[in-house]
Amino acid sequence: QTMLYNVVLTIGLAVASLADVSAGGVYGWDTSQIKDQAIIDCFAARNDAQFIVFTAMTFNDIDPDVCNELEMAKKSNIPNRDVRFTPCPTCGASAEDQINRMVKNLNTNCADAWSGRIWLDMKSYSVWPTPWRPVGYESNQKFFNQVVDACQQTKGVSCGMLSSPSTWKNILGSESYTYAPATTMPLWYSSLNNVTSFDDFVPFGGYTVPYAKQFVYMLGECGGSVVYQDWAAKW
């Protein structure tokens, strides 16, 4: 009886997954520090992954694995291969310099494997000055605006935003803080409730319609250490 229940449950989950995809949803991953082609191949096979996002720069340090990861994803036939950029307002480099260095590395070493899209990661608030006191928000807002401008003014790239209402507020002082140029970017929001829909989305930062959702953290999935699964109506 237990074995029969497990079989039925497995079939049910598979059917549910196929239903999500057939209804127009697509699945993908965001991860980092991947060194094995077999891991990327595993990601590619799960729900017919249509996109993957790797860390390209964090806190003004270029990720040494990013180009190899992008090349492996290309070999695995994942069609959309983006990168994530975590800006650092306290690292002694301007927003423009950080983005230029990252893009130069990508264009020099793996332009053929990179889609050309950068997601600005506004989830990591530990390096932003005085994130818990209003006195720090004005400088944070200024640097954030500079990051958006630098990305949008970089030739040959497209830009998106990764955040959530809580981290947006922690960094910029209010969920309602809006920088108009940023709202022209697609929003990829984080809500780790294991639900593949936008029903839980709450507007913030001038965004009213999301583009994609980071919906579950999967420690060790496919052998990767830091792995999130994502969902979008399209990519």
Q: What is the pLDDT of residues 183-223, one digit of tens each?
A: 999 999 999 999 999 999 999 999 999 999 999 999 889 99
Give the span between the Cα atoms of 119 and 127, in whole angstroms.
18
Report pTM.
0.88
> Mean pLDDT, to the nearest integer, of 172-182?
96
The pLDDT, as a whole number, for residue 10 is: 32
Closest alpha carbon to 57 in 140, 137, 151, 141: 151
Tokens of 43: 């990601």
Q: What is the pLDDT of residues 31-52, one digit of tens each?
A: 999 999 999 999 999 989 999 9
